[in-house]
Amino acid sequence: MKKVTFFLPLLMLFGFLLTACETNEPKVPDSVRQSIKGNYSGQVNFISSGNNRDTLRTAALASVNDKEIVIDRVPVAPMIDTIFGSGTASTAGINTLPMKIKYTMYGANQAYFPMQFEIEDFNFTVNYGGAVHNVVVAFEKPAFDNMVFYFPGKGQIELEARTARIALDGDDIQMLGNKIKPNRRFSFRFPAIFKK
């Protein structure tokens, strides 16, 4: 009898844990996971925030596999010119950079599927003022208003990436035209829409 009273609470605990681990989240159908793969074309917008708001649109291609989205060219010239001064990107020959995005797709409904993502940092060098400078651009972690969405019925991917940190030679920067202004914050967004 003692064995039964000892094992019964353990059995109940095990059953509770199994029930707690179950999820009512909708699953992503395998057909949707397969349909997202392929080649896309579209445009990437560059939007700078601050006193001088600007938008630039660039045509781009993207390829998608089951884990990653690779965009062939994202316009970074305005970002470089904002940091170092007008014309620097052209002189350095860096107008666009490829963007790699790792994603995880979640079930939502049949119209769209949200995708949590992680963007590889931009890491590049710029020759300026007789010196070589290393620039690293990190991106924000996904939130509700900057996620990736896949619309299987349209064969369309929509995303928005935002810069979280820009470092110049290892130090965080908040500058405009190469004049450091610690209290002035600027940021950049990269909204994009791609269709198969």
pLDDT digits over 135-154, tens only?
Answer: 999 998 877 666 789 999 99
Strands (E), 106-186: 113-119, 122-128, 131-139, 148-151, 156-168, 171-172, 175-176, 179-180
The pLDDT value given to residue 113: 92
- Checking if the pLDDT of 180 tops 70, the result is no
Looking at residue 68, what is its pLDDT? 96
**Mean pLDDT over all residues of the chain?**
80
| pLDDT tens sequence across 71-100 | 999 999 888 887 888 888 999 899 999 999
11 vs 109, residue with greater confidence: 109
